[in-house]
Chains A and B, each alone.
Chain A
Amino acid sequence: MKEVFVRLARCVGCRQCEISCALVHSESRDIHQAVWERPLPRQRVRVTREGSEYYPLRCFHCEDAPCIGACITGAMHLDEDVGTVACDTTRCVGCWMCVMVCPYGSIRIHEGQKVALKCDRCPDEDEPACVRGCPTRALLVKERALVV
């Protein structure tokens, strides 16, 4: 199965992955139009820093995902077809249990819609937008087995 991997040493903290993620989740997919959209498009990846190291934090789509276990409505589920952990926002009631249990802090709160917001690994794209957007190729898509 394909996974997104991070080559930590290459991340320069430019936050292009954030912009690309928000854009791919916008109506227009054009930076000059997306900033005028209401509601504003939301990104699912967040670049953090620890000392001199940057880290583009996004959902790992855990094999044994704590967020799924914590979800009381079953909104958070495993999408068997693509192997991602997905949130069915129609069932999400905004209790934020998943937010609390995620060990990486990968789930964000969609303020406007009061639902959990997380990486969907860009199901409609050939390559996740964050990967495509990264100028230093810090993000890579690879078969899981090949890398480990």
Chain B
Amino acid sequence: MGRLEGRTVDPAALEMLKRAEEQGLETAWDRCRAQEPLCGFGNLGVCCRICLQGPCRIDPFGEGATRGICGAQDYSIVARNLIRSIAGGTAAHSDHGRHVALTLLAHLDGQAPDYRIADPAKAEAVARRIGLNPAGKTPQEITREVTLAALRDFSRLEEEPCTWVTSTVTPGMTEKFEECAIMPSNINGAIAEVMHRSTMGVDADPVNLIFGGLKSALADYAGCHLSTDLTDILFGTPRPVRSYANLGVIDPAKVNITVHGHIPLLSEIVVDVAREMEDEARAAGAAGINVVGICCTANEVLMRKGIPLATNFIAQELAIMTGAVDAIIVDLQCIMPALKTLCECFHTRLITTIPFSKIPGAYHVDFREEKAKESARRIVKLAIEAYRERDPARVHVPQVKNEVVAGFSLEAMLEVFASVNREKPIRALVDAIEEGEIRGIALFAGCTNTKARHDEGHLTIARELARNDVFIVATGCAAGAMAKAGYMTSGAVKEFAGPGLTRFLERLGKASGFDGGLPLAFHMGSCVDNSRPVDLAVLIAKEMGSDVADIPFVATAPEAMHEKAVSIGAWAVTLGFPTHVGVIPPVYGSSLVTEVVTKIAEDVFGGYFILETDPMKAAEKLIEALNYRNWRRKYSTASLDEAMVAE
């Protein structure tokens, strides 16, 4: 395998990596090499920078310091660092949700006229779920009540549990969280508590610290879930949609605008405005305007508007290197500051839009709810202006793109299931599990990371699981990897699915008359939309009369990178999912903490981490986890039957 081939399995990315090298353009992979070897202490989680006496490091080989200056042991240091990154993830997801909530409120107050309540039915459904009575109220009134309830999950002073936790899990799970004292009552409070208890001289008990982290993780879950709900109300609940993915979606004939980041508040409007400004683009000599996406903003606009996905996280620079991107509009999270230097090598305008997410030297168009369209127009204008400066000689777009079927919100998925069971759509899936037609379900989530070969983990594990009849759902950059590789098509079913999964998908596809057949992997949205697969799991658990910890449902983040992935991983384990991570998180510096997250967690929550960097071995372990749950379920139903016979 060549050096560049070792970096990615995505043919479009590889083509651009070769071009980058020819042109002397730097990428994350080059910077990664300059960082090698990565700091051993940091990699193991045994470096503490929490107080000004430090930094203290524990010698992982046991010869030097075994404690920090304050006396903190390896396990306290590792646990404190770990939960601080959970708090970082929680802050990111929940702040995203809070922004959507505030935009909705502004709209309801008449201050954000460019928005509308796109899905009043969702507002009503959420209202019912959280125990509000929507009868006789206008969509505006219902939305206001729901939004205020969501904001209360951030600000509640009483020790009442977060609504978005209790209303979305099983009673058994709620009880477990209360029992373990990890039920958050207020998202901001949970983050503050982690920061406090992990500061110098507070909590030194690793298990206690981890439980504090799990409380924050559940707050993260609440933040994700309310974000999905409110975004659906504001922009519509996704429905199946066809589009394309990979760098080939960049169209050299058009003005190309890339939307990148996570929060679609502005990107949604940019998509609309771009459609209105086609004439201006034509006047500049272009064939029109082409909006494409990167990271989760891409997933959001793909799910709701069918906007093509250019690439996922680690390849973001490669999109700019095509020389055909006229503007890249970024909001927040996962935006490499490196984009600035790179854009300077081209005509590309880098435009930041969020007041607290700026990059020196970039254009900044302040996003204001009250003037969303105006901001969007300014951005599209900048892109058209840049298009005039584009150097055609430097344009190189890899001719690689694959079809993708996306838009599988839980609602959309249940509609498909309803074609075989009108009364209880979820039975379609539960029956297939109980009859052994499918082995279980796997959620693919998370990022891409220079520590792994780009997309290889996602695709290898997906192929292996599909071959073993596992129903696949995906979110975030994991979904991006599958979309780019053509795994979100019915063609992939023929290529990779085992006999049971093929039968199941074909039967459902036929019954629902799904245009073009159902895909191998179901795109459920962005990273915050990991709430959707949880809803799916909870629905299955309820139908099977159990909790998520009992059903054959696993999660995997083969190339996790962000703190958000740490917090999602933590709540996935807490909710009961066996959760694979393909990049070793900084916990190995403490055998105790490693033991807790990979083994002891299972005794308490049913979920646990599987840390495995080899994708084939990871697939094996995930299948084993599914087999074990199926075996246990059968065994417990069998003993139940026996007990009944004995009576």
Contact of B43 with A32 in the complex, beta carbons under 8 Å: yes
Q: Taking the nearest CB of chain B, how far is it from the CB of A105, in angstroms? A: 14
Q: B43 to chain A: which residues have CB within 8 Å?
A: 31-32
Contact of A35 with B63 in the complex, beta carbons under 8 Å: no
Residue interface mask B59-75, A partner, CB < 8 A = 1:
11111100000000000
Contact of A32 with B588 in the complex, beta carbons under 8 Å: yes
Contact of A16 with B61 in the complex, beta carbons under 8 Å: no
Contact of A31 with B61 in the complex, beta carbons under 8 Å: no
Complex CA–CA separation, A133 to B63 (angstroms)? 19
Residue interface mask B569-613, A partner, CB < 8 A = 1:
000000000000000100011010000000000000000000001
Task: Say which residue of A14, A15, A20, A40 sits within 8 Å of B62 (CB atoms).
Answer: A40
Contact of A20 with B60 in the complex, beta carbons under 8 Å: no
Whether A77 sits at the interface, judged by CB under 8 Å, is no
Whether A41 sits at the interface, judged by CB under 8 Å, is yes
Q: Among B34-42, B172-180, B545-553, which stretch is in contact with chain A?
A: B34-42
Q: Taking the nearest CB of chain B, how far is it from the CB of A110, in angstroms? A: 10
Q: Which of A19, A40, A42, A135 has the most CB of B within 10 A?
A: A19
Among residues of B, the one whose C-beta sits closest to the C-beta of A15 is: B57
Contact of B62 with A23 in the complex, beta carbons under 8 Å: no
Complex CA–CA separation, A34 to B584 (angstroms)? 13
- Among A17-48, those with CB < 8 Å from B are 18-20, 22-23, 31-32, 34-36, 40-43
Whether B44 sits at the interface, judged by CB under 8 Å, is yes
Contact of A31 with B63 in the complex, beta carbons under 8 Å: no
Task: Say which residue of B44, B61, B64, B584 sits within 8 Å of A41 (CB atoms).
Answer: B61
Task: Say which residue of A15, A23, A34, A40 sits within 8 Å of B41 (CB atoms).
Answer: A15
Whether A132 sits at the interface, judged by CB under 8 Å, is yes
Contact of B37 with A35 in the complex, beta carbons under 8 Å: no
Contact of A133 with B61 in the complex, beta carbons under 8 Å: no
Q: B44 to chain A: which residues have CB within 8 Å?
A: 31-32, 35
Q: Taking the nearest CB of chain B, how far is it from the CB of A131, in angstroms? A: 12
Contact of B588 with A43 in the complex, beta carbons under 8 Å: no
Contact of A19 with B63 in the complex, beta carbons under 8 Å: no
Task: Say which residue of B37, B588, B613 sits within 8 Å of A133 (CB atoms).
Answer: B37
Contact of B62 with A19 in the complex, beta carbons under 8 Å: no
Complex CA–CA separation, A15 to B64 (angstroms)? 11
Q: A32 to chain B: which residues have CB within 8 Å?
A: 43-44, 584, 588, 613
Given A15-B57, A36-B591, 17 extra CB contacts under 8 A: A16-B37, A18-B64, A19-B39, A19-B40, A19-B41, A20-B40, A31-B60, A31-B588, A34-B61, A35-B44, A35-B61, A40-B61, A41-B61, A42-B63, A43-B61, A132-B37, A135-B39
**Can you list the 3 inter-chain pairs with the closest CB atoms, starting with the nearest?**
A19-B40, A32-B584, A40-B61
State the B residues within 8 Å of A (CB). Answer: 37, 39-41, 43-44, 57, 59-64, 584, 588-589, 591, 613
Query: What are 12 contact pairs spanning A and B, CB under 8 A?
Result: A14-B39, A15-B41, A15-B57, A16-B39, A22-B61, A31-B60, A32-B584, A40-B61, A40-B62, A41-B61, A42-B63, A133-B37
